[in-house]
Amino acid sequence: MKEGVTFPLGLFEPAGSGARAISPLLWGLVWLSILVVVFIGVAVLAGIVVRGRGKREPNLVIPPRSGRGLWWIYGGVGISTIILIAFTGWTVTTMAGLTKPSAVPSLTVGVSARQWWWGFHYEAADPTKAFDTANELHIPVGEPVRFNLSSPDVIHSFWVPALGGKMDVIPGRTNQMWLEADKAGVYRGQCSEYCGREHAEMAFSIIAEPKVQFEAWRAAQQASAPIPATAELQDGLAHFVDRCGKCHSVRGTKANGAKGPDLTHLKSRATIAAGVLDNNLGNLSGWIAHPQGLKPGALMPDIAMSGPEFQSVLSYVETLK
Ligand code: HEC
Ligand SMILES: [Cu+2]
């Protein structure tokens, strides 16, 4: 059964100003490509038919090749060059139009593209209000949002086709882009620069929602994780810090690793492992027990735990709403 982020990328259904600006160019290139294929196909077929007739009908006199044939080459090269220059100009002006958002973005999100998941850092004027999350972005509808893109490992590419163009994420530098969603909805994002074994399983979603809902989500994310109330959960937290805390952070606890996604509000996300699995108890349990079976090569190793230890960690993780 297919799970996780399965809905299409929506390349041909622009839902944001960036994607809308690109759409005519996209269609222009699609139609140009179709025309070229059809034209060349017809020319090749015509050539075969005309030349072939000479073989089947020996009496037919085909005039010897003359210099006029070369005009096909001159004309072909000339017309192609003009069309290509025109499309280059169109591409460059479209790209230039995309560099400036419609308004100064009030929200900035740092994107850390990793093998093979996405870390998101929501900046805030008051640094105590900044927070991290992973693989699921929330943005307010109808407002440009700025993204600062960086990568600690290899080159990735940040792409949400329904909202805008793609931008490479390059180690050692911070690329900037912005996106704006016209309508509320869930949009699919995908890494679009081959980055290793699980490149295809490096999806994320953008949830564009009305400002009020967005603010409610942001306030909930800013909160630290609840302090465990029962002995079992306290045990779970202790094991979690011990076994998982070197790679994962849970705000408000001693777990402050940064090699894996921030799990403070794990259960608020719809999927886990960069859009690979639905976020439910069964999948979470399967993932923690044997991540290598679900996403081979993922940078979370299988971790050997005793039955009770595993159960307490799982129960604790389930409280991270
Ligand atoms: C060596 C580092 C490391 C350790 C130790 C580790 N993890 Fe992970 N974990 C990761 C990485 C990296 C990912 C992202 C994998 C991916 O999607 O490719 C991840 C992903 C996850 C996710 C999915 C999060 C999401 O939003 O997609 C959960 C849940 C998780 N780990 C739980 C745990 C638990 C519980 C433990 C301890 C038993 C643990 N991890 C130990 C590195 C680690
Ligand atoms: Cu990637």
Strands 145-150 and 107-114 turn out to be parallel
**Tens digit of pLDDT for each residue in 65-120?**
666 778 888 998 999 999 999 999 999 999 998 888 888 999 999 999 999 999 99
The answer to whether residues 218 and 235 belong to one domain is: no
The pLDDT of residue 55? 67
Ligand 1 center to residue 302 CA distance, Å? Answer: 10
Give the end of a domain, one of 199, 222, 245. 222
Position 4 in a domain: no
The answer to whether residues 128 and 193 belong to one domain is: yes
Whether 23 shows a pLDDT value over 80: the answer reads yes
The answer to whether residues 123 and 89 belong to one domain is: no
The answer to whether residues 211 and 143 belong to one domain is: yes
Give the end of a domain, one of 174, 194, 222. 222
Whether 140 shows a pLDDT value over 60: the answer reads yes
The answer to whether residues 305 and 243 belong to one domain is: yes
> CB–CB of 298/273 below 8 Å?
yes
The residue whose C-alpha atom lies closest to atom 16 belonging to ligand 1 is: 273
Q: Read off the pLDDT of each residue in 290-302 and give the average, rounded to a whole number.
A: 96
Task: Band the pLDDT of 1: cuts 50, 70, 90.
Answer: low
> CB–CB of 161/9 below 8 Å?
yes
**Tens digit of pLDDT for each residue in 227-280?**
999 999 999 999 999 999 999 999 999 999 999 999 999 999 999 999 999 999
Q: Which domain holds residue 205?
A: 107-222
Position 3 in a domain: no
The answer to whether residues 277 and 178 belong to one domain is: no
Task: Band the pLDDT of 7: cuts 50, 70, 90.
Answer: confident
- The ligand with the least distance to the CA atom of 136 is 1
The answer to whether residues 93 and 133 belong to one domain is: no
The pLDDT of residue 2? 65
Cα 274 to Cα 174: distance, rounded to the nearest angstrom: 22
For residue 39, how many other CB atoms are within 10 A of its CB?
11
The answer to whether residues 202 and 126 belong to one domain is: yes
Phi-psi region of 41 (alpha: psi -120 to 50; beta: other; left: phi over 0): alpha
Ligand 2 center to residue 11 CA distance, Å? Answer: 19
Q: Read off the pLDDT of each residue in 171-199 and give the average, rounded to a whole number.
A: 96
pTM of model > 0.75: yes
Structure tokens at 280: 């439910």
- Which protein residues are within 6 Å of ligand 1, measured from CB? 116-117, 134-135, 198, 243-244, 246-248, 259-261, 263, 266, 269, 272-274, 284, 287-288, 295, 298-301, 303, 313, 317
The pLDDT of residue 83? 95
Task: Band the pLDDT of 291: cuts 50, 70, 90.
Answer: very high
Kindly give the number of the ligand 1 atom that is closest to the alpha carbon of 115: 18
Residue 154 dihedral angles phi and psi, to the nearest 5°? -125, 180
Position 2 in a domain: no
**Tens digit of pLDDT for each residue in 150-159?**
999 999 999 9
Position 6 in a domain: no
Task: Band the pLDDT of 54: cuts 50, 70, 90.
Answer: low
Q: Read off the pLDDT of each residue in 57-70 and give the average, rounded to a whole number.
A: 70
The residue whose C-alpha atom lies closest to atom 1 belonging to ligand 1 is: 300
The answer to whether residues 171 and 212 belong to one domain is: yes
CATH (domain of 203): 2.60.40.420
The answer to whether residues 207 and 169 belong to one domain is: yes
The answer to whether residues 208 and 244 belong to one domain is: no
Could you tell me how many residues make up the chain? 321
The pLDDT of residue 294? 95
Ligand 1 center to residue 8 CA distance, Å? Answer: 26
Q: What is the DSSP string of 111-157?
A: EEEETTEEEEEE--SSGGG-EEEESEEEEETTS-EEEEEE-SSS-EE
The answer to whether residues 116 and 206 belong to one domain is: yes
Position 149 in a domain: yes
Position 203 in a domain: yes
Structure tokens at 132: 């991290």
Position 7 in a domain: no
Give the end of a domain, one of 222, 257, 283. 222
Position 195 in a domain: yes
Number of domains present in the structure of the chain: 3
Residue % of the chain over a pLDDT of 90? 83
Ligand 2 center to residue 131 CA distance, Å? Answer: 22
Ligand 2 center to residue 195 CA distance, Å? Answer: 4
